[in-house]
Structure 1
Amino acid sequence: MLRFFAPLIAPLVGLLFVCALLYAVIAAPSAPAAHLASEEFHLPPKDIHYSFEGPLGKYDNQQLQRGFQVYKEVCSACHSMRLVAFRDLEEIGFSKPEVKALAKGWATETPSVNPDTGEPATRKSLPSDFIPGPYANETAARAANNNALPPDMSLLAKAREGGPAYIASLVTGYADAKTFTKDGKSLMKEFPDFNTPTGLHFNPYFANLNIAMPPPLSADGQVTYADGTKATKLQMATDVSAFLMWAAEPKLENRHRTGLAVLAYLVIATLLAFGAYRNIWHGKKH
């Protein structure tokens, strides 16, 4: 009798195992999903209009120059732009003498080598140099920022979801977690245990609501614009985010022009092909 049932034992055990697994996956009650403050109270980027948006969009050089001024006077204290050279600034309207003066007067000198001793040294920057960062290396950057690493800003506008609007929203979005509300709901009432750890700052536009970067734009008029534009916090944020978009995609206008030329070519080619088709098959039966 055992010999008769022995070949069936292994398949039967396997079948029971599969049934138990299917029950665990399908039929068994699932645990409720975790309710997180970062999911309910995170805000999308503000609706900010930029001149370079859309297929016909173009950069506003005055805005880009203002944005560079905000980067120079505010952001460059912590953030580098190692992929942007000083001479690239000529593309946004700075003259060669202005670029030369900017490079020479930059707060951080360019790393170099002493030709006499071969030891590491620094020198005044040249227009051909990339914009030097504020720290010698990553270790120094972390040591100065509570172990947080300020990201390089060269490609930041393309690397972050939401692009320049996200950057502008983030730098103007700092708030008090104790009084913050969204859609009529209070953060502290919904999540009484929520807290902002020491060294971090509450910002609803940041993914987990707490960010290491302190508010970079503290008040209106923090920067005095050369063109007389009123430097509100939102204006400075919009200008610097537009400048970062140019830094990340300086050939955007060329791409727009190329795209329009290609579309025009395709429309003309389509019309010519259709005309040739009508001419060849005119009056002929299929």
Structure 2
Amino acid sequence: MIRLISIFVGLGFAGVALISLAFGAYAYATDEPVAHLPYKKPEKVDFSFNGPFGKWDYGQLQRGYKVYKEVCAACHGIKFVSFRDLADLGYTEAQVKAEAASWTVPGIDPDTGEATTRPGLPTDPFPEPYPNNVAAAAANNNAIPPDLSLMTKARNDGSNYVASLLAGYQDEPDPEVLAEFPEAAPGPGLYHNPYFKNLNLAMSPPIAIDDQVAYDDGTKATVRQMSEDVAAFLTWTAEPSLIKRKQTGWPVMIFLLFATVLAYLSKQQIWSAVKPKKD
């Protein structure tokens, strides 16, 4: 009896699966294809960390941090990064302490127990620009700015995507695109960017003019340069161990190759005395 019930239950599941497959095939065959908005793929940037032998350009990372601090930090946090992590960018201990102290972080008054603010310490994470999502949405046309700690890992081809997006704002879509896709026109409170999948986003161009940030090393701060620098910095925040992982990978590959050759020679040695039988 139990076996008979099991057979009927199995047939029921199989029938449901076949019906679902039939409906799905019918919908696929009859539905008209959806026309996707013609967004652009990110432009390739020759970052120093690209490729198997890539390295960090610490000058670029420091410039990118300055762009983040002076431009992006007003709306976007990097909550998974602490001030002491800046030592990995080539800053000295004294510079890290001074940099942390230049930020204001939430604190507690030891006398009253009330919430207050204080200068940052190296052990503090970077502060959030807004106390909560409600305040963030209220200050940004109901759009909540995302945290940027892992942004280059969360987006396909993240480093190139961030650099292209920041430098790719346009006043309006190309006439050909607008003629074919009228919905590509930016609505109220939106800004056109061909590298964004919806072509329009709520974030106004954060990097709008050259020399918006004054670089300490004398590098010309063009819109493209600042965009690439902050993209490199956000690549580091998302994966600070990127270069160490690449450097570790080569010895591991060499060891595995050596172990494979050694295992093959051992097999040859062990089975060398065994002669195959003749028919």
Query: If the TM-score is normalised by the length of the shorter chain, which range does it land in?
Result: 0.7 to 0.9
For residues 223-234 of structure 1, the aligned pairs below 5 Å read 223-234=213-224
Cα displacement (A) at 1:26: 4.7
Residue 70, structure 1, aligned to residue 60, structure 2? no
- Residue 141 of structure 2 is matched in structure 1 by 146
TM-align CA RMSD: 2.4
Which residue identity is paired with 2:33? Answer: A
Paired with 1:51 and 1:255, the residues of 2 have a C-alpha distance of 15
Paired with 2:23 and 2:79, the residues of 1 have a C-alpha distance of 56
**How many residues are matched?**
258
Q: Could you say which structure has the larger radius of gyration?
A: 1
- Residue 198 of structure 1 is matched in structure 2 by 188
- Residue 280 of structure 1 is matched in structure 2 by 270
2:121 pairs, out of 123, 126, 129, with 126
1:115 pairs, out of 101, 110, 117, with 110
TM-score by length of 2: 0.86
Gaps of 5+ in 2: 1-17
Residue 89, structure 1, aligned to residue 86, structure 2? yes
Paired with 2:86 and 2:225, the residues of 1 have a C-alpha distance of 21
Q: Deviations over 1:95-120 (max 9, x none)?
A: 111111111112xx211111111111
Cα displacement (A) at 1:279: 2.5
For residues 229-244 of structure 1, the aligned pairs below 5 Å read 229-244=219-234
Residue 30, structure 1, aligned to residue 3, structure 2? no
Distance 1:33 1:88, change over 3 A: same
| Further displaced range: 188-197 or 209-218 | 188-197
Residue 101, structure 1, aligned to residue 95, structure 2? no
Q: Is the 8 A contact 1:100 1:127 kept in 2?
A: yes
Q: Is the 8 A contact 1:177 1:187 kept in 2?
A: no
Aligned to 2:30, the other structure's residue is in SS state: coil
Distance 1:117 1:26, change over 3 A: closer
Distance 1:176 1:267, change over 3 A: same
Paired with 2:119 and 2:27, the residues of 1 have a C-alpha distance of 70
Gaps of 5+ in 1: 1-17
For residues 9-28 of structure 1, the aligned pairs below 5 Å read 26=26
Distance 1:150 1:257, change over 3 A: same
Q: Deviations over 1:44-86 (max 9, x none)?
A: 1111121112222121111111110110111111111111111
